[in-house]
Chain A
Amino acid sequence: MMPGIATFADAVLAAPLPLAAINWHSFFFVLFAALACGFAVAVVAAENVVRMALYLVLSLGATAGLFFLAGAEFVGAMQLMIYVGGTLVLLVFGVMLTAQAPFVSIKGSGRDKVVAGVVGAVLLAVLLQAALSVKAWRAPAAGVVADPAATPIGMALVGVRVDEPGVGAPARNVRPGYLLPFEIVSIHLLVVLVGAAYLARAKRRKIPRAIDVAASAEPPASVAEHAAIGRDRQRSGSVLAGGR
């Protein structure tokens, strides 16, 4: 038994299938890329809108994995936090607020699908051509491990560039950061917060909504009958008002 295991271990270690040759960075890239693209296609293919949301979550989560692999941990964590944890929960929330059986899957027409498919294929061809045509982009990664980017990003957002000091600015060895865009985005988010609350507020309306009309329609006869029985029992002093 034991020699068998030892032989097996030797065979695995010395196998012609060069496990040692695997570049693990590339391996995980292929894994995450396949997940991201596969679920992106699944989003398009799915009819049920809740499943689309799930596939989108998985696709964006795998993209966060790609960001981690590219050395952009902060962007990856941000993607998980804001995109997957915030935006998509919001989306699913919206799906559930509007999810009634007829709307969960609204099928597009066949013509739409064909046109979208053709346009998509052409666009994909153009983009792939563009992506693969530049030689410098196809050069294999030299694998320069950079410093973690969270701190420089934080400093850059408050206006100080500590990552590449001195480039093209001999007098000051700090380059202008992103203070202004940061402030603009902050104001933008505030405006969006107010605007979304304003749009979604409960308001009195002059024209009744379609669902309200449906809800305020005359109740079926049996309901009215039950209510009448209940009233009678109450009047006659029965303890089990409304019961039969």
Chain B
Amino acid sequence: MADFLINTLGLPAWLAWTVAAVVAAVLILHVIAGGALVFIWAERKIAGRIQDRLGPTRTGGKFGWLQSLADGIKLLAKEDLMPDGADGMLFRIAPYVSFCASFCAFICLPFAFDVVGQRLNVGVFFVIAVLGLEVFGVILAGYASASKWSLFGAMREAAQVVSYEVPLGMCVVVPVMLAGSMDLVTIAEKQAGWFTNWFLFHDPFTFVVFWIYVTCAVASVNRAPFDLAEAESELVAGFHTEYSGLRWSFFFMAEYGSMFLVSALAALLFMGGWNGPIPVATLLGLSEGTGDTAHYLVRLVGLANLIGKATLGVLMMMWIRWTLPRLRIDQVMTTCLKYCTPLAAAMFLGAMLWQIALPGGLVPVLHRPAAEIREGWLPGPGGEVRARDAVSTGDAVSTGDAVAAKVAQVGS
């Protein structure tokens, strides 16, 4: 986009980059805020239907479309209360800390091949790391509220999120291992083609890993049945007991933002990202080389594809929330430490062994071998570096490929 501004509009480089950065930031902000509006409405409707009610029906026409907008206006108009004993500064900034963490993680989340705020070669690592910072807002809120309920909620959240980061990280490592890169764009591109190329169907181990990831992701964004931090039946409202109005809604925007984020991450890591179950764009003959219109169309189809998958993930979380009862805190910790972590570790080993034995995956005929990059790094018997098939995939943008190519140069 900056290139477009520089070349077509003739803006100076610094202005073009600034405009591009601002536009990207505003777009990401709208994904979170707009997403939250839609998801809150969807949550109400789904909760209603699951409980044999109708949910909102009147606000804004037939299906209550404008319900979340009305909610927003109500929240804006609410009084911004702060308890007497609260630590003012911490109480005020806690929601923003939460929201900023959620927002920052979107920076390097790709929505389609080129549609990414900042492409980072440690993308998936960065997303997981920044997402983990969201817990800080919650802890600060719980502490600063000067309320026992809030403090209990915050303690639970701290214990839970730190514990669940371990199995979550292990699950994320598996697709990283299969793709040979931590760049989210590369990982998604490795799964291009039919759905048989998805890492979800790469081998039985990755299939299990996906479901462990789902469990841990639900837990790490504090959704039921793992929403111990705000367990309303025991802790009033947990960490946000004392919050009202706009600050309270910031917590919720952060929560819905993270829900969308972990769903999009699941789509990118296990379900091909913007590469659909059926490669529609390729079947229609739209590929990168066929001109500008096709180029944008491919991006647009990919964008819709990824957002559709992520939305499905969010809807699934809602379905789980309104179906399953809440766990007790000891059950939450048991699930993490006694089941998820060992299972994820075993599946990681299994996927590794499978990768050595059958690098083509479960359906080798349709599957493009995903592991060719690392071949080039192994030192040969004579000490020379073998660079077999090092850069054969064609996407020279991959960082692993670049390294392998460099090794190949030096080795020859």
Number of A-B contacts (CB under 8 A): 126
Stretch at the interface among B253-261, B364-372, B404-412: B404-412
Q: Does A166 contact B (CB under 8 A)?
A: yes
Q: Does B400 contact A (CB under 8 A)?
A: yes
Residues of B within 8 A of A93 (CB): 139, 155, 158-159, 162
Q: In the bound complex, what is the Cα–Cα distance between A174 and B385 (angstroms)? A: 8
Q: How large is the interface on B (under 10, 10 to 19, 20 to 34, 35 or more residues)?
A: 35 or more
Contact call A51/B90, Cβ cutoff below 8 A? yes
Contact call A165/B89, Cβ cutoff below 8 A? no
Q: Does A136 contact B (CB under 8 A)?
A: no
Contact call B140/A85, Cβ cutoff below 8 A? no
Knowing A93-B158, A174-B379, the reply to whether A80 touches B403 (Cβ < 8 A) is no
Interface code B370-412, partner A: CB below 8 Å = 1, 0 otherwise?
0000000111000111000000000000011011001100110
Q: Does A150 contact B (CB under 8 A)?
A: yes
Select one of B14, B402, B410 contacting A20, CB under 8 A.
Answer: B14
Contact call B121/A150, Cβ cutoff below 8 A? yes
Name B87-101 residues within 8 Å CB distance of A. Answer: 87, 89-90
Contact call A48/B155, Cβ cutoff below 8 A? no
Q: Does A33 contact B (CB under 8 A)?
A: no
Select one of B126, B144, B399 contacting A77, CB under 8 A.
Answer: B126
In this complex, how many residues of chain A approach chain B with their Cβ under 8 Å: the count is 41
Name A200-214 residues within 8 Å CB distance of B. Answer: none
Stretch at the interface among B34-42, B129-137, B238-246, B328-336: B129-137
Contact call A147/B158, Cβ cutoff below 8 A? no
Contact call B407/A73, Cβ cutoff below 8 A? no
Contact call B90/A50, Cβ cutoff below 8 A? yes
Contact call B14/A89, Cβ cutoff below 8 A? no
Name A71-109 residues within 8 Å CB distance of B. Answer: 73-74, 77-78, 80-81, 84-86, 88-90, 92-93, 96, 99
Select one of A13, A96, A172 contacting B383, CB under 8 A.
Answer: A172
Knowing A81-B129, A81-B132, A99-B143, the reply to whether A89 touches B383 (Cβ < 8 A) is no
Q: Does A152 contact B (CB under 8 A)?
A: yes
Q: In the bound complex, what is the Cα–Cα distance between A73 and B399 (angstroms)? A: 13
Select one of B126, B139, B181, B385 contacting A89, CB under 8 A.
Answer: B139
Q: Does B165 contact A (CB under 8 A)?
A: yes
Residues of B within 8 A of A86 (CB): 132, 162, 165
Interface code B259-272, partner A: CB below 8 Å = 1, 0 otherwise?
00000000000000
Q: Which residue of B lies closest to A169 (CB)?
A: B383
Contact call B14/A81, Cβ cutoff below 8 A? no
Contact call A50/B400, Cβ cutoff below 8 A? no
Q: Does B248 contact A (CB under 8 A)?
A: no
A sample of 11 cross-chain residue pairs with beta-carbon separation below 8 angstroms, ordered by A number, consists of: A51-B87, A57-B136, A77-B125, A80-B129, A81-B125, A85-B129, A88-B136, A147-B402, A148-B122, A150-B399, A165-B407
On B, residues with C-beta under 8 Å from A are 12-15, 17, 87, 89-90, 120-122, 125-126, 128-130, 132-133, 135-136, 139-140, 143-144, 151, 154-155, 158-159, 161-162, 165, 181-182, 377-379, 383-385, 399-400, 402-403, 406-407, 410-411
